[in-house]
A and B are shown apart, each in its own frame.
Chain A
């Protein structure tokens, strides 16, 4: 790890200075050390070690705050548990805040006094980012997004070729040459977004959503310039990089003159743009921002698409993504969709806002350094899935999908992992199918 310099220390402390206000003061001063957060954490559950108690994360940020910004901490640090920002502190911060946290926020929910633990983790990560301590693998993903326009470095040519290929497949599937995947079209109602892993490696979810848009007769387009729904700077903690990525999406919405920005099934992408971007861009949206989960529910509710649950006979369970459900409150829509699109739906326990993290959140999927821990905590999710006896796990988050694919293999669950769009697309009854049935 690179040595700490005075300049770096000042940069890190500047983050705290910038944040000083009632919110930071409340959360750094409120932990009563009751320990209730311990059992809520997936890391602690798998390895009941003091290091993994979420309060430790609160403590390290709070103790640095006290050392530099409270009178008692400045003059009698040994009495107040105040900590100097030195190499040992940094090393511990990196391991606790990046290496032992998926930012799932379950500890927030269980905190007896309402400390926003996740906010302090993000503040600590922001300090580390300013000082240059973002794990290399995570920073590479952010850099790819900034330098190439998407976090996997896909060229525009490769992107367009893939979408054209998917369009041909769609036309073949729905038996209609008018089924299209529109690119860069201005003045459409919806600009849809993607997680880059879809065009690169897992395009079935794009085909599924294109089929849904076709069935709904939607006016939509994809941008070839800015389609990436992710924002890994939200995980690294670098505010400026986060702003830059979010601003690109705002600019592209305006450039394409679309009315609604529909975010692909991506938990942190939704959170970092829909709920956080107005804060760090310091401006509200001049257009609507919604998730595809809400849109799919809307299509079914309003009868814009016809679905038949008989088409999905397997037992399906649901994994609620932390950012979407616990933090964002999107709880009923996914259940409504499944109630209409699958024959056998079973909940896992716990579920909804109390669901356990899959283990891949907080940027963990990109940080190879902590892979062993990530796959160890995923054992909890494996147990949850196994108990449902389901053969399909649906989840509206591509990040969770990837973690669940690995969990499936590592724990030999023998299940299929699907996005909601894939499940809806499988249940769709197209108009020409109706006619065939009637005649």
Chain B
């Protein structure tokens, strides 16, 4: 457990900075986590990716495949890595308030 402080707001997070309680998440929290990764302002594409991930996790309990993100958002794979330089897992899933996915990520 650790505390992540962004612009005066404090969040309980795991060692990797993923929210300990995914249910405190909302749009403001997403914007703040994105800021801590250097994404100063989330654009339409960022939101589209984050909302797909969040919806999928709420329905199925896990992060979607990157294929799902690409096909549902219409954003090309290479652009996803540009939008979230840390990648879909440590980048986009963290902004979407999910717990850290297992494995080599």
A residues whose Cβ falls under 8 Å from a Cβ of B: 137, 140-141, 144, 151-154, 158, 161-162, 165, 195-197, 199-204, 230, 266, 365-372, 398-399, 402, 405-406, 408-409
Give the CA-CA distance A165 to B104 in the complex, in Å. Answer: 23
Report A-chain residues with C-beta under 8 Å of the C-beta of B17.
Answer: 371
Give the CA-CA distance A199 to B69 in the complex, in Å. Answer: 13
Report A-chain residues with C-beta under 8 Å of the C-beta of B90.
Answer: 402, 405-406
Say which size band chain B's interface belongs to: 20 to 34
Of A137, A161, A266, A398, the residue contacting B67 (CB under 8 A) is A161
Asked if A162 contacts B15 (CB within 8 A), the reply is: no
Give the CA-CA distance A197 to B14 in the complex, in Å. Answer: 21
Q: Can you name the residue of chain B whose Cβ is closest to the Cβ of A141?
A: B102
Q: List 13 A-B contacts (CB under 8 A).
A: A137-B100, A144-B103, A152-B101, A158-B65, A195-B103, A197-B89, A200-B89, A200-B101, A201-B88, A230-B104, A365-B104, A369-B15, A370-B15
Report B-chain residues with C-beta under 8 Å of the C-beta of A137.
Answer: 100, 102
Q: Can you name the residue of chain A whose Cβ is closest to the Cβ of B101?
A: A152
Give the CA-CA distance A137 to B14 in the complex, in Å. Answer: 10
Asked if B86 contacts A366 (CB within 8 A), the reply is: no
B22 at the A/B interface (Cβ < 8 Å)?
A: no
Asked if A366 contacts B65 (CB within 8 A), the reply is: no
Report B-chain residues with C-beta under 8 Å of the C-beta of A154.
Answer: 65
Smallest CB–CB gap between A1 and chain B, Å?
A: 14
For window 1-59 of chain B, which residues contact chain A by CB distance below 8 Å?
A: 2, 14-18, 37-38
Give the CA-CA distance A365 to B87 in the complex, in Å. Answer: 15
Additional A-B contacts beyond A141-B103, A144-B102 (13; CB < 8 A): A137-B100, A144-B103, A151-B103, A161-B65, A161-B67, A165-B67, A196-B104, A199-B65, A200-B89, A200-B101, A371-B17, A405-B87, A409-B37
Give the CA-CA distance A158 to B71 in the complex, in Å. Answer: 13
Asked if B105 contacts A201 (CB within 8 A), the reply is: yes
Smallest CB–CB gap between B83 and chain A, Å?
A: 13
Of A140, A144, A201, the residue contacting B66 (CB under 8 A) is A201
Q: A158-B65, A165-B71, A368-B14 given as contacts; is B86 within 8 A of A409 (CB)?
A: yes
Smallest CB–CB gap between A295 and chain B, Å?
A: 21
Asked if A197 contacts B103 (CB within 8 A), the reply is: yes
Give the CA-CA distance A165 to B64 in the complex, in Å. Answer: 15
Smallest CB–CB gap between B18 and chain A, Å?
A: 8
Report A-chain residues with C-beta under 8 Å of the C-beta of B14.
Answer: 368
Report B-chain residues with C-beta under 8 Å of the C-beta of A162.
Answer: 65-67
The 3 lowest CB-CB distance pairs between A and B, nearest first, are A368-B15, A371-B15, A152-B103
